[in-house]
Structure 1
Amino acid sequence: MDDSESGFNLKTVLVSFKQCLNEEEEVLLDPYLASWKGLVRFLNSLGAIFLFISKDVVSKLQIMERLSSGPQREHYHSLQSMVAYEVGSKQVDLERRSRHPDSGCRTVLRLHRALRWLQLFLEGLRTSPEDARTSVLCTDSYNASLAAYHPWIVRRAVTVAFCALPTRKVFLEAMNVGSPEQAVEMLGEALPFIERVYDVSQKLYAEHALLDLP
């Protein structure tokens, strides 16, 4: 069964990010991880080209699921409670990645950076003309987000891989929400949900000087 038959579409995934914020604008971790799983399905539906990102995301999701079901799970209800707990109990390596390589703060930061890339790329697909080259859109989004945290050899390999991306029309159709025009309209409605979660997370990390965790 392919994703269109199983009822999967990108709108459902993007709108699910709405559930990540409660009334106090806390980022709830369970809905956040569930929403990311939907994004991984979307990336995987586009073929092996995004495997380098989706494999890394899956490993980070597994770390977070272990923490949120482990002995300290009450501290992993929201991003805010997790940061307060880990920073307060000195479980975050601010200088170098040594004693706590799998801290929740570090792990979610990696997801957070990948989310920014995907948000920028989808926004690029939404606002670009029909004949826009997806390789350029994806490279620009990557350079504005994840590239700063990858060594040169990875950046080179990634930007070469992007040259083989399918057309903008193929991407929009892979979203399973109808015509390319309907997909563009959907992105306009649904991308703000990701953007809001990203902005709240960014502000929290900035307040605690955690944006550059090694």
Structure 2
Amino acid sequence: MAEPGNDDKPVRKIAQSFKELAAAVNSQTADVEVAPFSHACSLVFPLLGCLGIAFKFAEMDFVPKVRDLADASKSIKTLPALLDHDMERNCVRKAGSHSRNLLRVNRGLDVVRVIFEQILESEGDSFKDIVSKAYAQVLAPHHGWAIRKAVAAGLYALPTRAQLLKKIKEDENSSKIHLRDYIVASETVILYINGLFLSRDLGIEW
């Protein structure tokens, strides 16, 4: 994986890619394809790298699952077809299945969305409370005690807000536009994916 500092304005790239995915969802003319979805998710990798040891577990979990979806895109065209493929094989909830990976990747996108919301809503230079709230809201309910404890310890190693903006090559003003774009676009995509699971009676709380 490329060093975060070498990536050219990752938040702008993430926002643009998810705006394109959201446009595909909103058009309702065709199902969202696996290839552009996995590509958009891969643009999140440098951002996770910027969050340091607190989110190392998320990086180690998110990255291989996105790569699995990218591999799946070579033979499965759309996200609905991906779920149907696993349903036919009765392996939706099995470890390593594309469906299970998709659900967890979607959760990762939601964490980033909540972090961005908290950045826009909060003041001061501390980033610890922002990440803590996002983790507690989205991921903590699905994690055991050991992971929750490791994350709590890692929060103290997070960069400050100013340090993070410097790493992603943005300032307070320039970042707001792209953070908002991602928040709006990703919510559309996240709800779409949750809907795929729920419409097939697969649930999303597992």
**Do both proteins adopt the same fold according to a TM-score greater than 0.5, normalized to the shorter chain?**
yes
Contact kept in structure 1, 2:7 and 2:46, CA below 8 Å:
no
| CA radius of gyration, larger in | 1
Secondary structure in structure 2 of the residue aligned to 1:163: helix
1:82 to 2:87 alignment:
no
- For 1:55, the equivalent position in structure 2 comes to 60
From 94, 97, 101, the equivalent of 2:95 is: 101
After superposition, where does 1:62-211 map in structure 2 within 5 Å?
A: 62-69=67-74, 73=75, 76-93=76-93, 100-129=94-123, 131=124, 133-177=126-170, 179-211=171-203
3-state SS in 2 of match to 1:144: helix
Higher RCO by CA contacts (8 Å cutoff, separation 6 or greater) = 2
Q: How far apart, in 1, do the equivalents of 2:204 and 2:45 lie?
A: 24
Change (3 A) 1:5 1:118: closer
- Structure 1 stretches lacking a partner, 5+ long: 94-99
Give me the whole-angstrom Cα distance separating, in 2, the residues matched to 1:185 and 1:34.
22
- What is the deviation of 1:2? 6.9
The alpha carbon displacement at 1:46 in A equals 4.0
Counting helix residues as a fraction of each chain, which structure ranks higher? 2
Q: Quote the RMSD (CA, aligned, Å).
A: 2.3
In the alignment, is the contact (CA less than 8 A) between 1:30 and 1:77 conserved in 2? yes
Q: How many residues align?
A: 201
Match of 2:37 in 1: 32
Q: Percent identity?
A: 21
The offset of 1:4, in angstroms, is 6.3
Q: Is the 8 A contact 1:17 1:31 kept in 2?
A: no
C-alpha change, 1:34 and 1:54, in structure 2 (3 Å) is same
State the TM-score, normalizing by the size of structure 1.
0.83
Change (3 A) 1:12 1:107: same
- In structure 2, what is the Cα distance between the partners aligned to 1:8 and 1:187? 12
